[in-house]
A and B are shown apart, each in its own frame.
Chain A
Amino acid sequence: MPILRGVTLGIEAGETVGVVGPSGSGKSTLLMVMTGLDKATSGVVRVAGHDFMALGEDALARVRGEHIGIVFQSFHLVPTLTALENVALPLEFLGRANAADRAADVLQSVGLAHRLSHFPAQLSGGEQQRVAIARALAPNPKILFADEPTGNLDVRTGEQIMDLLFALHKRLGTTLVLITHDQRLAARCGRIVTIEDGRVDPARQDLESVA
């Protein structure tokens, strides 16, 4: 049974886009297709100049490492690695020489310079998400996907995380795609895409961003 049906969606460099929709609408599947974590059965997927439909698993991993950062709802940090090592991980996968120094700098920029050698279990939820954001941004990706990034956080921490995401977007100019069911969060984006029953509703895109 197809989950996404006839989705056409273009996102310009530097944009901030909020993807909203009820649970089961296909938000996560859309994210998986856009990040190359899953393949669409048919159609065209082009991200950062790469034809995702034509790439194999390892090539997709490489593109992800270089151009795409992902922030998950439940952080998904490697529990056995320190904050610094978690952030250095994608840089190491890319073979960057100064991975550790670079990771330390990025952690400093998310306000965690004092937490470098802590393990995920020793960090609060908000701090863990900051590490996850730092990890996603460490290789200087062109696009940052954030899947319900505040879903597992309390309201105040959630707001701080959103502030951080938008501040970093402003500072770095990274394209930001925010997947959320929270209309209020989506409203902070430049454009809102509503997905329902596997279809993007073009009529409701700009309208909601104005509202």
Chain B
Amino acid sequence: MTAIPAAARASGRQFALPLSLRLALRELRGGIGGFYIFIACIALGSAAIAAIGTLSSAIQTSIAREGQVLLGGDIEASLVHRRASDAERAFLTRQGPISEIATLRSMARLADGSSQALVLVKAVDGVYPLYGAVALEDGARLTDALRPGGAAVERAFLEQLGLQKGDRFNLGDASLEITSVIASEPDRLSAGPSLGPRVMMSLETLDRTGLSQPGSLIDWRYRIGQTDAEQMAAFKDIVARELPDSGFQVRDKTDPSPGISRAIDRLTDFLTLVGLTALLTGGIGVANAVSAFIERKRKVIAIYKATGAPRDLITRSFLLQVMLLAVLGIVIGLAVGAVLPFLFTALYGSALPVRLEIGLYPGALLWAAAYGFLTALIFMLWPLGRASQIRAGELLREEVEGKAGWPPPLFIAGSVGSALLLMLTAVMFAQDKQIAAITLAAVAVTFLVFAALGQGFRVLAGKMPRPRRPELALALANIAGPGGLTRTVTISLGTGLTLLTAIALTNASLTEELRTQIPERAPSHFFVGVPKTAFDGFSDLIAKVAPGSELEAAPMLRGKIVSLAGTPAAQIKAPPQAEWVLNGDRGLTFSDAPPKESQILEGAWWPKDYSGVPLVSFEGELGRALGLKIGDELTVNVLGRNITAKLANFRTVRWNSFGINFVMIFSSNTLAAAPYNYLATLTWTAPHEDKAEADLIRTVTAQFPNVTSVRVRDALETFNSLMGKVFAAIRVAGGLTLFSGVLVLAGALATARSRRIYEAVILKTLGAPRWRIVAAHLAEHLLLGLATAMLASIAGAVVAYIILTQLMDVSFHPSVMALLQATLLATIFMIAFGLFGTLRVLGAKAAPYLRSE
């Protein structure tokens, strides 16, 4: 036997890459048709996660970068209720240049007493600001504007009281002149969100107002210039060592606003989870695309086998192909995700408290890439595994679609393993692991529920008696038949609609709660800083001006927790829901009797006129979350003194009553000697006019200029508008899931197109007019869409119910609009897609489909 001779020449024809990669690249050379949806699904989810991560990193980085200016110093040490003593001040001055400021809430009144406004007062020394500059609208110098008796105010203040520059207003016991209008204040962010406009003055002017009294709620802040990083880091320890009882609360420029940082972290977490839901929904599109791809490649796979390719080589090469496409999708997603924040900054940058410097944040992109890759693996491995089951014998026999059996165990393991890894990663790196785990579990359950619905719907459609109208019969046959869209529609559309319904219902319930429920049971006003010596006069006045009202009051001081059961607060690793108790200072009160609405959960309340060791009652859930046990010692710092009390009992607190609620209530002998003020609430028990409220505030403010009154409705309105913004962001992220589902649907419809055309051609051959075919398709799509929407509404309501009642402790208020939204969207999508698909089907030529190969 002689072989065909190899020509003795060096042609340079070399195949350098590994065979599996070579095969993959050759296949891809034919184009990526059929993979656009696959790529889009992965790109969309990755883009969302990358954009959220980049934006959040940019905000955090910008805050940290401008930390010095935002904080107003390198370090801030603050006290509540009291000014630093001479010794403390001397200590602070040794650390570097210092600036002293005082912040408080108060009521500014018109000179004639006709109107008043809640304002945020900031009194500063001559050094302020240590970093950055206050810009005044008229370009004046701050020191000139803050001359004794003068105040610089925000424009909102002028608008609220109808004042102009040069006018006068009353604050406390003083009459002040508006000397200038503040254009920007460098350290505004560190004050956190506020209910009123800023009124800035000198410390000397604050003295004139008489607002600074023992026990009044003033934060004294000492900003220190200390650029040495080591010194800065060591500051907290030095304070703890040298001034152990001072009660200084310390923060530095690396995290100038811990509250805002925490809020951003939480929101990032949550939006990332929603983005991940979009990515996972897109996963269905990935699985569909890979299945269709393997179906298209059956013959090629059989040829490979017939020409001697081993099974693992084939699967490896196809895995590589799909992986390369997934990487393409991820790269597109990351590119979009990295660019979107620029767009966001261009549109909304001016509304943010810091100048955002968007850049490349590799960490954020890496996360998005990892999530994209794992999602691709979860959904591609299963259908890819079927490639290895295709037999070479198919080349000789026309085999119909292969039976959809289980893929080889390795592929199942890979798919399940990727899913577990994804869940583990998402939960491990979330701030609130419990919420992350619940969310992912909910997504998984939703997938399963809608997969089951799809199956159930198929079975049901198959068992229904055949309708007399042929269009309906065709629609039912398509829903029940093999290779139909049923399950894809239910899963892809169902997940997105469930999420949107849940978001809409949660939003509606919270809005309802804030707009009508809370105002009904909450008091209508809070009065802060009623002096204990003047309390009787205050309550007499209320009884006179607001006869149809109820006044409740409690002594209040602020203090911070120093240690719990001997462990310093800084070393306590609190669970997320209880962290806030340890952050910053808390309101403290004392009482002989437990609050009316509280129940004692464990331990016992102290007897009236108790005079033993100081005792404290702690809110039960929080106390247990912080690891406290009855009998433990708890130390708080109040007015520069450490007070240790023994935990006597755990009690319930109805937080959503929005009344006077304290985490800690001490036995009277603990705090009664301190210079405290009263916190009071007023609830109207009889119907009243708005004018009565205005009169009340005016009278109280005129007679008790040191008392700050906050209208609960205003506070709720402020909160509601903030919540509206947060929900807008959540809704956009949630909308992505629906969009992802729509992409999946579009992909599935495209895959089914040639089968649909074939079917339509046969129907036409049999004499069906076009309207019948259109009607059959519409009926099928509508039936599917409506059934999915109905279940999505129910599932969304269940999810919202759980979120509201179990996680947020808010009652569930069903909203018809929120519930109907799913149905409406599903109907629109299904009709749009159905019609578009059907028109393309009807436009196709019959001949090529009827001629055999």
- Among A78, A94, A100, contact of B14 (Cβ-Cβ < 8 Å): A100
CB distance A58 to B310 under 8 Å? yes
Contact of A61 with B by CB under 8 A: yes
CB distance A172 to B2 under 8 Å? yes
Q: Mark B1-23, 1 if CB is under 8 A from A, else 0.
A: 11111110101011100010010
**Complex alpha-carbon distance, A106 and B15, angstroms:** 17
CB distance B6 to A101 under 8 Å? yes
Contacts of B4 in A (CB 8 A): 105-106, 109, 137, 140, 172
- Of chain A, the residue at the smallest CB distance from B5 is A105
Between A37, A66, A77, A98, the greatest number of chain B beta carbons within 10 A of the residue's beta carbon is seen for A37
Contacts of B303 in A (CB 8 A): 76-78
Contacts of A78 in B (CB 8 A): 300, 303-304
Contact of A208 with B by CB under 8 A: no
CB distance B396 to A28 under 8 Å? yes
CB contact under 8 A between A62 and B7, given known A32-B393, A37-B392, A172-B1:
no
Contacts of A66 in B (CB 8 A): 308
Contacts of A109 in B (CB 8 A): 4
Contacts of A174 in B (CB 8 A): 1
- Of chain A, the residue at the smallest CB distance from B853 is A74
**Complex alpha-carbon distance, A76 and B302, angstroms:** 9
- Of chain B, the residue at the smallest CB distance from A171 is B2
Contact of B391 with A by CB under 8 A: yes
CB distance B6 to A31 under 8 Å? no
CB distance A61 to B6 under 8 Å? no
**Complex alpha-carbon distance, A90 and B307, angstroms:** 5
Contact of B311 with A by CB under 8 A: yes
CB distance A98 to B6 under 8 Å? yes
Contact of B313 with A by CB under 8 A: yes
Contact of B94 with A by CB under 8 A: no
CB distance A37 to B393 under 8 Å? yes
Contact of A177 with B by CB under 8 A: no
In the complex, what's the smallest C-beta–C-beta distance from A40 to chain B, in angstroms? 13
CB distance B313 to A93 under 8 Å? yes
**Complex alpha-carbon distance, A79 and B303, angstroms:** 11
Contact of B395 with A by CB under 8 A: yes
CB distance A99 to B15 under 8 Å? yes
CB distance A80 to B310 under 8 Å? no
CB distance B307 to A57 under 8 Å? no
Name A156-175 residues within 8 Å CB distance of B.
Answer: 171-174
**Complex alpha-carbon distance, A105 and B7, angstroms:** 7
The number of A-B residue pairs with CB atoms under 8 Å apart is 114
Contacts of B688 in A (CB 8 A): none
User: Number of residues in B with C-beta < 8 Å to the partner?
Assistant: 38
Contacts of B15 in A (CB 8 A): 88, 92, 99-100
Contact of A187 with B by CB under 8 A: no
Name B373-432 residues within 8 Å CB distance of A.
Answer: 391-393, 395-397
- Among A35, A37, A80, A172, contact of B26 (Cβ-Cβ < 8 Å): A80
**Complex alpha-carbon distance, A61 and B396, angstroms:** 16
Contact of A81 with B by CB under 8 A: yes
Contact of B299 with A by CB under 8 A: yes
Contacts of B26 in A (CB 8 A): 80-81, 85
Name A54-99 residues within 8 Å CB distance of B.
Answer: 57-58, 61-62, 64-66, 70, 72, 76-81, 84-85, 88-90, 92-95, 98-99
Between A78, A84, A137, the greatest number of chain B beta carbons within 10 A of the residue's beta carbon is seen for A78
CB contact under 8 A between A37 and B310, given known A80-B30, A100-B13:
no
**Complex alpha-carbon distance, A139 and B306, angstroms:** 13
CB distance B11 to A101 under 8 Å? yes
Contacts of B397 in A (CB 8 A): 28
**Complex alpha-carbon distance, A79 and B30, angstroms:** 9
In the complex, what's the smallest C-beta–C-beta distance from A21 to chain B, in angstroms? 15
CB distance B5 to A62 under 8 Å? no
CB distance A173 to B1 under 8 Å? yes
Contact of B127 with A by CB under 8 A: no
In the complex, what's the smallest C-beta–C-beta distance from B3 to chain A, in angstroms? 4
CB distance B391 to A94 under 8 Å? no
Interface of A is mostly: helix
**Complex alpha-carbon distance, A100 and B308, angstroms:** 17
Contact of A147 with B by CB under 8 A: yes
Between A28, A72, A101, the greatest number of chain B beta carbons within 10 A of the residue's beta carbon is seen for A101
In the complex, what's the smallest C-beta–C-beta distance from B185 to chain A, in angstroms? 65
In the complex, what's the smallest C-beta–C-beta distance from A80 to chain B, in angstroms? 4
CB distance A140 to B3 under 8 Å? yes
Contact of B592 with A by CB under 8 A: no
CB contact under 8 A between A101 and B13, given known A90-B307, A93-B308:
yes
Contacts of B312 in A (CB 8 A): 58
**Complex alpha-carbon distance, A81 and B391, angstroms:** 21
Contacts of A64 in B (CB 8 A): 306-308
Contact of A135 with B by CB under 8 A: yes
Contacts of B395 in A (CB 8 A): 37, 72, 76
CB distance B306 to A37 under 8 Å? yes
CB contact under 8 A between A89 and B307, given known A104-B13, A172-B2:
yes
**Complex alpha-carbon distance, A11 and B305, angstroms:** 24
CB contact under 8 A between A147 and B11, given known A81-B26, A102-B6:
no
CB contact under 8 A between A80 and B308, given known A88-B15, A137-B4, A174-B1:
no
Contacts of B6 in A (CB 8 A): 98, 101-102, 105
Contacts of A105 in B (CB 8 A): 4-7
**Complex alpha-carbon distance, A76 and B392, angstroms:** 11
CB distance B310 to A32 under 8 Å? no
**Complex alpha-carbon distance, A89 and B305, angstroms:** 11
Contact of B29 with A by CB under 8 A: yes
CB distance B309 to A61 under 8 Å? yes
Contact of B621 with A by CB under 8 A: no
Name B827-844 residues within 8 Å CB distance of A.
Answer: none
Contact of B550 with A by CB under 8 A: no
- Among B14, B305, B308, B396, contact of A147 (Cβ-Cβ < 8 Å): B396
Contact of B27 with A by CB under 8 A: yes
Contact of A38 with B by CB under 8 A: yes
**Complex alpha-carbon distance, A137 and B30, angstroms:** 26
In the complex, what's the smallest C-beta–C-beta distance from A106 to chain B, in angstroms? 5
**Complex alpha-carbon distance, A70 and B3, angstroms:** 17
- Among B7, B13, B19, B311, contact of A57 (Cβ-Cβ < 8 Å): B311
CB distance A93 to B11 under 8 Å? no
**Complex alpha-carbon distance, A124 and B1, angstroms:** 31
CB distance A173 to B2 under 8 Å? yes
In the complex, what's the smallest C-beta–C-beta distance from A26 to chain B, in angstroms? 12
Contacts of B308 in A (CB 8 A): 61-62, 64-66, 90, 93-94, 139
Q: Mark B95-125, 1 if CB is under 8 A from A, else 0.
A: 0000000000000000000000000000000
**Complex alpha-carbon distance, A80 and B299, angstroms:** 12
**Complex alpha-carbon distance, A11 and B15, angstroms:** 37
Contacts of A108 in B (CB 8 A): 7
Contacts of B306 in A (CB 8 A): 35, 37, 64, 70, 76
Contacts of A35 in B (CB 8 A): 306
**Complex alpha-carbon distance, A98 and B6, angstroms:** 9
Q: Mark B796-840, 1 if CB is under 8 A from A, else 0.
A: 000000000000000000000000000000000000000000000
Beyond the given A58-B312, A61-B392, please list 6 additional residue pairs across the A-B interface where CB-CB is below 8 A.
A62-B308, A76-B299, A80-B26, A90-B308, A101-B7, A137-B4
- Nearest 3 A/B pairs, CB to CB: A65-B308, A100-B13, A80-B30
Q: What are 19 A-B interface contacts by the 8 Å CB criterion? A: A28-B397, A38-B393, A58-B310, A58-B311, A61-B308, A76-B303, A76-B306, A77-B303, A80-B26, A80-B27, A80-B29, A93-B19, A93-B308, A100-B13, A101-B9, A140-B1, A140-B3, A142-B1, A174-B1
